[in-house]
Every structure is written in structure tokens, then in C-alpha cells.
Amino acid sequence: MPTALITGITGQDGSYLTEQLLDRGYTVHGLVRRTSNTVRTRLDPLFHNKGVYNKSLFLHYADLDDATTIRRVLVKTQPDELYHLAGQSHVGASFDIPESTCQFTAMGTLKLLEILRDLEKQPRFLHISSSEIFGRPDEFPQHEHTPMRPVTPYGVAKTFATQMVQLYRESFGLFACNAICYNHESPRRGESFVTRKITKAAAEISLGLNDEIVLGSLDGRRDWGSAPEYTTAMHLMLQQDAPDDYVLATGKTHSVEEFLDAAFRSVGLKYKNHLKQNPKYMRPAEVTRLVGDPTHAKQRLEWTPTTTALELAKQMTAADVESLK
Ligand SMILES: NC(=O)c1ccc[n+]([C@@H]2O[C@H](COP(=O)([O-])OP(=O)(O)OC[C@H]3O[C@@H](n4cnc5c(N)ncnc54)[C@H](OP(=O)(O)O)[C@@H]3O)[C@@H](O)[C@H]2O)c1
């Protein structure tokens, strides 16, 4: 059965992808950072499953800038597929920590590509790029050939990584793909992201644990999809005859206000009774209108996103209520 290596296995996408690959009979290896805290909530059910952990799921310590250790893990595990999901994933935070965002997201990806270039057995490689590479685009919706014009440190770092993946595919013949992902959410989304902040606050207020939610602008529109649907497409990308880049998006946008309204309504609340707005949460250069065209993924991968943003708002709020009870 095939073997996969996942960077960022402890993240939202990494945890869904791991479950999906294990279900398909893969052996899965994951790279994890060495920290003083070994809690990895999203992987807990698999970690504590004696039939899975150290049987078909293995974890290895390696930071993204630790090229020697990553090379050693790659040589030892000989994966057929390498899913590169790790990175500083918060766009807003990239204005506060631009150097480390670039160090891990841009240079971390290049270091991986350099290691692959020298390997005797080269795994198929998937890099998770982002809609942020388009920044303030001239065309709507954006597709695989829309010019990259990033406006955030995160977007600039992802642009570098995306173009390096293309360069290594064309110059060195690597089976290397970019999944150009628009926002995708789930109950496992990190709590600093606006969707999860909203659903957690809605859950807390509905249970009497909190009374207000503080947000920045409500006008921003996002193309929000469901994380497990996007990780399904990531796997499909590496099963094709030839490597390519694919936009993963729903093609529809909703405003932060619509998401907020749906989350609060789902627990019988009116968000206007609890909202406080603070300019502190507004980004220096807000990307306002990113919407993706998933036609290429639909045609080649036969992949269609089905969960809507407003359904996600309800699902995530219900999950937060459940976990707080
Ligand atoms: N979710 C989205 O809407 C979206 C959209 C476009 C692109 N993306 C990209 O897709 C990828 C996965 O997203 P996600 O939502 O799953 O993000 P996430 O939940 O924040 O997970 C990020 C993962 O990267 C790991 N990581 C971060 N810095 C690292 C480092 N220096 N060395 C090793 N590991 C490191 C984290 O490890 P720890 O657990 O130790 O922190 C975590 O496992 C990211 O690259 C993100 O930028 C996501």
C-alpha cells in the first residue's frame, strides 16, 4: 500500500488528510515540531488508537527549516506522496511576523524541493498554495493563470513557494503540484481565524458563558469551502497522470456579516445585540474580493465542493456548542 509523508499534520488540513489517507489504506508519516507542549488535539483520536499509532501512523520531529532531519526522514520512510501543508497560516499575523512567515512558508518550501531534487526515489509532491497569491486581481473569478499580485507578507511568501514549485516541475521534472486553495473551514479551524472566532463566540453566548464578540470589518467577502472536501481534492491531484496546478474554491463569496448572521441565528441569537467593532482587527491591506474558479479541478479531478459557507457556519457553531457543554 502507498506511503505518504505530511508536513503540517497537526493542522486543520493535515488532520483531515491523515484520516482520509488511513481510510484508503496508506501508511502515513507526519512531521511535527518539537515543542514543550505535546498536546496535538486534532490528532488525539488517532494518536490514542493503539491499532493506528505506530502501526500505520508515525510521527517524526522536524521543524520546516531543519533540512538535515527532513532529508533523513524522507530517506528512511521513502514516501510515494509528500503533502506539504506546514507553514505560518494566518494572513493577518504575517504583518506582525513577516520574517518567520517567509522563512517557513517561502524558504521552507524551497528547502523541501531541493531535498527532493537529490532523492533517488522522488515522491509526488503537493504544495498548498493560497488565493492570497492573487492579492488585488484584475479578473473575477481567478483561475490557474491569473497573474499573481500579492498584497500581504503571507501572500508574497506563498507566491514565491508557488512559483518555485512550478519552476522545479518544469526545470527538474518533479511531479510537483500547487493546490491554490481559497479559504476552507471546519470545526477544527484555529481559533484565531474569523470564522472560528465567530462560531466559538456564538456558542459561548448561547450557553451564557460570554456576552460579546469583537470584530473588525464585516464587509470583507470570502470564498469559503469545507476543509475535508479540499483535502479530498489534494489527494486526487497526486493521482493524475501529470502534475498540474489547481484552484480549489467554491466560486461563491459571502461577507463576514453573512457568516456571522448565520452562526448566531443557528443558536437563536441576533449578532447585532452582541457585536463590538474594533479597527485593531482590520488588516493594513485588506484583500476584499477573492473568488476562485474551480472549473479545472471539476473537469480534471471530477471534484465538486458541496458544503456552503452558511452551512459551515451552522456546523461549526454546533460543534463548538457540543465541545463547550
Ligand atoms: N485553511 C485555509 O483556509 C487555507 C487557505 C489557503 C492556504 N492554506 C494553507 O494550507 C496549509 C494548511 O492550512 P491549515 O488551515 O491546516 O493550517 P493550520 O491549521 O494553521 O496548520 C498549520 C500546520 O503547519 C505547522 N507548522 C507551522 N509552522 C511550522 C514550522 N515552522 N515547522 C513545522 N511545522 C509548522 C503547524 O504545526 P503546529 O501544530 O506545531 O503549529 C500545523 O501543523 C497552510 O500552509 C496554509 O497556509 C490554508
Rounded Cα distance between 173 and 97, Å, is 34
* Ligand 1 site-directed mutation target among 89, 107, 177, most atoms within 8 Å of CB: 89
> Cell 531543519 belongs to which residue?
66
121: three-class secondary structure by DSSP: coil
Average pLDDT on 107-132 reads: 98
Per-position DSSP letters for 36-91, written without gaps between them: S----GGGHHHHT-TTTBTTTEEEEE--TT-HHHHHHHHHHH--SEEEE--S---T
Average pLDDT on 197-221 reads: 96
Find the catalytic residue in 7, 27, 159, 199: 159
Confidence class of residue 285 from pLDDT cuts 50, 70 and 90? low
Give tens-digit pLDDT for 22-74: 999 999 999 999 988 888 999 999 999 999 999 999 999 999 999 999 999 99
Q: Which atom of ligand 1 is nearest to the CA of 183?
A: 3
> Is residue 287 predicted with pLDDT exceeding 60?
no
Which pLDDT value is given to residue 38?
80
In the reported structure, the alpha carbon of residue 88 is separated from the centroid of ligand 1 by a whole-number distance in angstroms of 6
Stretch among 8-12, 35-39, 161-165, 179-183 having the lowest mean pLDDT: 35-39
Q: Measured from the CB, is residue 128 less than 6 Å from ligand 1?
A: yes
Q: Measured from the CB, is residue 237 less than 6 Å from ligand 1?
A: no
In the reported structure, the alpha carbon of residue 23 is separated from the centroid of ligand 1 by a whole-number distance in angstroms of 22
> Helices in 78-174 by DSSP H: which ranges?
98-101, 108-118, 153-172
Which pLDDT value is given to residue 280?
81
Strands (E) in the chain, as ranges, are 3-7, 27-32, 57-61, 81-84, 124-130, 176-181, 184-185, 213-215, 221-222, 225-226, 246-248, 254-255, 275-277
177: three-class secondary structure by DSSP: strand
Measured in degrees and rounded to the nearest 5, phi and psi for residue 181 equal -90, 135
Find the catalytic residue in 182, 230, 246, 271: 182
Q: Which atom of ligand 1 is nearest to the CA of 8?
A: 43
Q: Measured from the CB, is residue 66 less than 6 Å from ligand 1?
A: no
> Is residue 318 predicted with pLDDT exceeding 90?
yes
Which pLDDT value is given to residue 283?
65
Give tens-digit pLDDT for 127-175: 999 999 999 999 999 999 999 999 999 999 999 999 999 999 999 999 9
> Is residue 312 predicted with pLDDT exceeding 80?
yes
Share of the chain above pLDDT 70, in %: 98
> Is residue 303 predicted with pLDDT exceeding 90?
yes
Is residue 7 flagged as an active site residue?
A: no
In the reported structure, the alpha carbon of residue 47 is separated from the centroid of ligand 1 by a whole-number distance in angstroms of 19
> Is residue 201 predicted with pLDDT exceeding 60?
yes
Share of the chain above pLDDT 90, in %: 94
Is residue 77 flagged as an active site residue?
A: no
Which carries the bigger pLDDT value, residue 284 or residue 122? Answer: 122
Domains of the chain: 3-184+227-248 (3.40.50.720), 187-222+252-290+307-324 (3.90.25.10)
For the chain, give the mean pLDDT: 96
Q: Which atom of ligand 1 is nearest to the CA of 84?
A: 45
> Is residue 246 predicted with pLDDT exceeding 70?
yes
Q: Measured from the CB, is residue 123 less than 6 Å from ligand 1?
A: no
